[in-house]
Amino acid sequence: MTFKSFSWKNLKKPKLFALVAMFFALVVSIPLLPLPVLSANSSAKIQFVSPNWVAENAKDPNLRILDVRNFPLDYIEGHLPNAVNIADIAFRGPKEGLPVQYWNNQKLGEIFAYSGVTNNSRVLVYSDGRDVLGATMVAYLLERSGLKDISVLDGGYAGYKASDNVTKEFPKYSVGKFTVKDNPSVRVSLNDVRKLIGKPGVVFIDPRPEKLFRGEENIWIRNGHIPGARNIPWVTFMDAKNPHKLRSLDEIKKILADKKIVPGNDIIISCSTGREATLQYVVLKHLLNYPKVRIYEGSWTEYSTQKDLPVATVEEKLT
């Protein structure tokens, strides 16, 4: 039988059944083929921006501004136009017995969506005073969730208020649709840390105050730091008069050089609860373009509970 003379009527039942069975077998097998895995785009950018940047981008309909100050009356008294208040403490809670751990991806996505953020948003985050850590923490979580264009207001609310107008009006917006595209490349787990301690080329940075780093304050189950970690308190990156404003990048580079930290290192930043670490993560990875910088989110809150892991109280001498 030629192709031109083909007809379903010419097929006998056994051959017809075989042909139909072969067709359905092919259709059923298609979903079993390997499918591409969707992941967050690694080209995310976090930048520190000036109040002038805010004015220049204020009319962008895709710009969402998050005021992450923790005291609601601060926001009610005055804020950037169109800013949505979502306290940075809202992004963390208990997890498997540990306090102040980041919420799971579903809950993070809901928080961002209710703040009006979508997957196509550009987001500016700001806070005030020493809570620059809250601003960088939320910026980090946005990158971790797959967003690409993220900014932190350099100088915070105080810096903006001194040079521009603020408002008491609450913004009007629709709840966004935000799907978290998890980016695991920005962080390490406890199991990763176990394997990385003492490994050549790996450098742990601890941004906590010196007394906590040396274990001189009795806060955790065990006090001290990860062996080999280099102590660079986060405040050393900030302006003396405004702890929400960065020092010059040249000054920060010198601080890092004094601690023998170079771009070629595999850098892990671990602090008390995973919040302080986000400032140095943003600076090293996004402003100084160090190629491999990650955060140990569990930080000392988790590490100190692992009694099989070593603890140091003296910083190793650098050669």
Catalytic residues, which ones?
Answer: 271
Residue 159 phi, psi (nearest 5): -65, -40
Sign of the CA dihedral running 73, 79, 85, 89: negative
Cα-based distances in Å from 16 to 2, 6, 28, 30 = 17, 12, 18, 22
Q: With H, G, I as helix, E, B as strand and everything else as coil, classify residue 208.
A: coil
Residue type, 147: L
| Cβ atoms within 10 Å of 185's Cβ, excluding its own | 13
Q: With H, G, I as helix, E, B as strand and everything else as coil, classify residue 315.
A: coil
Tokens 């709840």 found at = 175
82: left (phi over 0), alpha (psi -120 to 50) or beta: left
- Both tokens assigned to 29: 């097998």
Distance (Å, rounded) from C-alpha 215 to C-alpha 226? 11
- Both tokens assigned to 172: 């009007």
Angle, vertex CA 272, rays to CA 154 and CA 313, nearest 5: 120
Tokens 């499918």 found at = 35
| Cβ atoms within 10 Å of 186's Cβ, excluding its own | 20
Distance (Å, rounded) from C-alpha 103 to C-alpha 218? 27
Distance (Å, rounded) from C-alpha 77 to C-alpha 167? 8
